[in-house]
Amino acid sequence: MFRRRGGRSQNRHTFNSPLEQSRRKQLLDPEEWAPHSHFLFVYSIFRDMKYMEAGNYSEAIETDDFVSETNVVTMAALGWFPKMIMDGNQDVLNNSMKETIGFIQETFYSENNTSKLMNQYYNSLTFLKEFLDNSKEKLELVLEDFWDIAVSNNNLEGTEREMFIESSKFFDIPVNIE
């Protein structure tokens, strides 16, 4: 028979059930992502890549620029899913944001694999393009979101500039940022 001891346990080990482990693996599998996760990923990587390439990602998280850009990322992603917000499903997007950040950190930190992240960036861009029915007007709005993220710190940096131009080419929307 098991007895409960005064609230404090000597054993502080945590147990991850096979179901929990399977769910975590599924969350890290982009093939299983919901549409809003692809939007969050694309916007997050657009924000993060310049920090990763500069090698100061962990320090950047503490900066005002990163916080400002994160607010733009969140609002951009939320803007595509107003029904989720109106139905009070804000937790779904919050959890997706955590999962997306988890995927980025797991991929980047455990594998230090920028090319894998960029491959997923283009896979998610492809998903967005199909999800938005290749509508030029809607894809222009995605590019506007990228622009807002890029210039939220009043400084269009090299990596952001390249990603913005590449994304515009991918969407077949000419831009002139000169």
pLDDT at residue 54 in the model: 83
Q: Do the Cβ atoms of 45 and 114 come closer than 8 Å?
A: no
**Higher per-residue pLDDT: 92 or 149:** 149
- Cα–Cα distance, 57 to 49 (Å, whole number): 9
In this structure, what is the dihedral angle of CA atoms 132, 152, 85, 127, given to the nearest 10 degrees?
Answer: 20
Is residue 8 over pLDDT 70?
Answer: no
pLDDT tens digits, one per residue of 58-71: 888 889 988 899 88
Helices 158-170, 114-131: axis angle to 10 degrees equals 40
pLDDT at residue 2 in the model: 36
User: Of 18-32, 109-123, 158-172, which one has max mean pLDDT?
Assistant: 158-172
pLDDT at residue 90 in the model: 66
**Higher per-residue pLDDT: 17 or 173:** 173
User: Of 7-16, 27-36, 55-64, which one has max mean pLDDT?
Assistant: 55-64
If DSSP states are collapsed to H, E and C, what string results for the chain? CCCCCCCCCCCCCCCCCHHHHHHHHHHCCHHHCCHHHHHHHHHHHHHHHHHHHHCCHHHHCCCHHHHHHHHHHHHHHHHCCHHHHHCCCHHHHHHHHHHHHHHHHHHHHHHCCHHHHHHHHHHHHHHHHHHCCCCHHHHHHHHHHHHHHHCCCCCCCHHHHHHHHHHHHHCCCCCCCC
Percent of the chain at pLDDT above 70? 79
Identity of the amino acid at 71 = N
pLDDT at residue 27 in the model: 53
Nearest to 77 by CA among 164, 149, 137, 26: 149
pLDDT at residue 89 in the model: 65
Q: How far is CA 122 from CA 154, 170, 175, in A?
A: 26, 9, 19
pLDDT at residue 25 in the model: 53
pLDDT at residue 86 in the model: 62
pLDDT at residue 7 in the model: 46
Q: Nearest 5°: phi and psi at 14?
A: -105, 150
| pTM, two decimal places | 0.78
Give the lowest-confidence range in 91-95, 117-121, 127-131, 135-139: 91-95
- Cα–Cα distance, 142 to 34 (Å, whole number): 18
Identity of the amino acid at 69 = E
What does the mean pLDDT of the chain come to?
80
Is residue 28 over pLDDT 50?
Answer: yes
